[in-house]
Amino acid sequence: MNSLYQTSIHSLPLLGHGKVRDNYAVGDDKILIVTTDRLSAFDVVMNEPIPGKGMVLNQMSDFWFEKLGHIVPNHLTGVAPESVVAEDEVEQVRGRAVVAKRLKPIMVEAVVRGYIIGSGWKDYQESGSICGIELPAGLQQAAKLPEPIFTPAAKAELGEHDENISFAEMEERIGAELAARMRDVAIQLYKTAAEYAATRGIIIADTKFEFGLDDNGVMHLMDEVLTADSSRFWPADSYQEGISPPSFDKQFVRDYLETLTWGKTAPAPALPADVIEKTQAKYFEAIERLTGEKLKA
């Protein structure tokens, strides 16, 4: 499978390169979003691509946008990416791009947690709460929470860590009405997705959503949705409380990097071929388990 580390599309104005996505302007009101095979860990972009990963993420998002479209509008336009680029650039966008509405991003990420893991587990061990939300005593690592909780994060500059903030601070930043709508919609999206994923043998432990506003102030779901990069997916058949379950994402890369004496800042160390192959296999397994179909290459 061909991999794409960085796009070189000259027929459209470049808006910028993110950690994983490259964005181009399509007129004044639309954006071409191309999901590359770049992988970031600990907020550092690795030097080697994971072949096909961008296609997995793009097709996963498309799957969820369709399944959740009744809850909130999203950024999709239905315009074929192949139709907005030059003929010799079509292969760069095939299966890994969307033409999206150009929205004004809300600079707060909507994080929903259904299980206690990661930074939430560390927070709970220290304070008995997650991001200021009190939780019952005696919960174990990876335990299911009584109800999903909403823990917003302020979006950081590229290469910086997002910062967890309180709901009160979110209200100050974007207004109480919009904050409440984001919270309620994010929790509804998570619950709906988690119920479906459970029928496919997958637990969605947590996820983050991004929203934007159109010219009329209507809130839209945007960016990526419920992918293996923006969520923790666990296989239900090997889940148990008290341990950190294996996940369908870049855990092989993280685990490898944790064995190195590396300061978790750029430049990134090289990834061995077996780590790349195992990571690729996890992404491919995730989309097949979730949708029941193999990646459309």
- Positive/negative CA dihedral, 91, 94, 97, 100: positive
- Between helices 273-291 and 251-258, what is the axis angle to 10°? 150
Give 10-residue mean pLDDT values along the chain (297 residues).
92 96 97 97 93 96 97 98 98 97 96 94 94 94 97 76 88 97 98 98 96 97 94 93 88 88 92 94 93 85
Phi, psi of 115 (to 5 degrees): -135, 160
Cβ neighbours around 241 below 10 Å, total: 13
Q: How far is the C-alpha of 216 from the C-alpha of 226, rounded, in Å?
A: 26
The residues facing 239 across adjacent strands are none
Dig out the tokens for 287 from the structure.
């989309």
> Who contacts 13 (Cβ-Cβ below 8 Å, separation ≥6)?
24, 25
Q: What angle do CA 177, 67, 164 make, to 5 degrees?
A: 45
Half-sphere exposure of 284 (CA within 13 A, CB side): 14
Residue 201 has a pLDDT of 95
Structure pTM? 0.93
Residue 118 has a pLDDT of 87
The amino acid at 284: F
Q: How far is the C-alpha of 165 from the C-alpha of 90, rounded, in Å?
A: 41
Q: Is 122 helix (H, G, I), strand (E, B) or coil?
A: helix
Residue 248 has a pLDDT of 84
pLDDT, tens only, 50-91: 999 999 999 999 999 999 999 999 999 999 999 999 999 999
Strand boundaries in the chain, DSSP class E = 14-17, 21-26, 30-35, 40-41, 44-45, 97-101, 104-105, 108-115, 129-130, 133-134, 144-150, 153-154, 163-164, 202-213, 219-222, 231-235
Pairing outcome for strands 129-130 and 133-134: antiparallel
Residue 53 has a pLDDT of 96
Q: How far is the C-alpha of 125 from the C-alpha of 49, rounded, in Å?
A: 36
Residue 55 has a pLDDT of 97
| Environment class of 245 (CB within 10 Å of its CB; exposed 0-12, middle 13-18, buried 19+) | buried
**Nearest Cα to Cα of residue 167 among 179, 156, 158:** 179
Q: How far is the C-alpha of 196 from the C-alpha of 158, rounded, in Å?
A: 33
Q: Is 129 helix (H, G, I), strand (E, B) or coil?
A: strand
Q: How far is the C-alpha of 291 from the C-alpha of 101, rounded, in Å?
A: 25
pLDDT, tens only, 284-294: 999 999 999 88
